[in-house]
Amino acid sequence: MAQVTVSIDGKAYRMACETGQEAHLADLAARFDRYVVHLREQFGEMGDLRLTVMAAIMVMDELSDAEQKIAGMRSQLDLLRESHDKLAEKSDHMDRLFSATLEDMTGQIITLTAKLNGAQAQTSTTPGLANDDIET
């Protein structure tokens, strides 16, 4: 365990933390100190315990707001995922319809090509008919 000395409201506190978390703990303490300093500036001198409790309640209020925002974002994300899934299904359906239509059209083109090739073969074996004489 590592040891860190932090300052809150001008008082030093020696605290233990996991190795590698020293900077994070110092940052948290500095952020909490800003709450305490803000409250002391706003309300003047008051007991340390009351000041700490008020600062803790402010932090919890912000945490509660953040949790509500996260819950709202999760709901929006769920709706977006649901919309995405529906659109993906619709896209797959449209792809299948397009493929079926394309296959059908390909079959029609092959049939027409065979008919045209058959008509051309007949004209070449029929004496006296030119390709210009065939109506399509």
Number of domains within the chain: 1
54 lies in some domain: yes
56 lies in some domain: yes
111 lies in some domain: no
113 lies in some domain: no
Rounded CA gap, 102 and 120, in Å? Answer: 26
Q: What are phi and psi of 8, to 5 degrees?
A: -130, 125
Residue 85 — pLDDT band, cuts 50, 70, 90?
very high
Q: Domain limits at 74?
A: 2-102
Q: Are 130 and 123 in contact (CB under 8 A)?
A: yes
Residue 118 — pLDDT band, cuts 50, 70, 90?
confident
Q: What is the pTM of this model?
A: 0.60
Residue 119 — pLDDT band, cuts 50, 70, 90?
confident
Rounded CA gap, 47 and 50, in Å? Answer: 5
